[in-house]
Amino acid sequence: MKKSKGAVALEFLFLFPFVVAMLYAAATYGLLFFGKYEMQGVVDQAASSALRVDRNRVHEDALGEQVTTTATAVLTEGAGRLSPAFREAIESSGCVLSTVQGLELLRCSMTLNNTEAPVIPQMSFGLLGLFPPLPERLSVEASVAF
C-alpha cells in the first residue's frame, strides 16, 4: 500500500495536459465551424436575393447585371455582420453569373484565409507543429438559377 502513494498525483500530472489540449481543440473547432456556418448563411442570403429582383421593373438585357449587383450588395452587408476576426480574414468574396447547360446561374462565394491572419490562435509545440491543426482556408458557396 505504501508504494502506491502519490500514484494518482502522477497520473493527473501526465493526463492533465492532454485533457486541456482536448478541451482547447474542441472549443477551437467549435468556434471555427460556427464561423463557417455564419459565412454560409451570408452567402445563402446573397444568392437568394437574386430571386427577389422584380423582373417586371428590369429590362431583360440588364437583368443579369441587376441580379449580380443586388447579390453583391447583400454579400457585402452580410460580411460586415461577421465577427471581426472572420471579417478581417476574408480573402475573397463575390457573386458572378455563369451559364451551365443553357441555365443562368448566380454563384456567390466567400473564402477565408486562415494562414496569414489566423482566426483562432494555435499553440506551437516546436517540432510537433501547431495544435490544433486548422485548415488553411475556409470556403463557402451558394448557387441559384434565375
Using one digit for the tens of pLDDT, what is the confidence trace for 41-91?
Answer: 999 999 999 888 888 888 888 888 999 999 999 999 999 999 999 999 999
Please write the tens of the pLDDT for every residue from 6-39. Answer: 888 888 899 998 899 899 999 999 999 999 999 9
**What is the pLDDT at residue 73?**
96
Q: Which residue has the cell 470556403?
A: 139
Domains, in order of start, for the chain: 2-145 (3.10.450)
User: The pTM is what?
Assistant: 0.83
What's the chain's average pLDDT?
90
Are 93 and 99 in contact by the 8 Å Cβ rule? The answer is no
**What is the pLDDT at residue 96?**
96
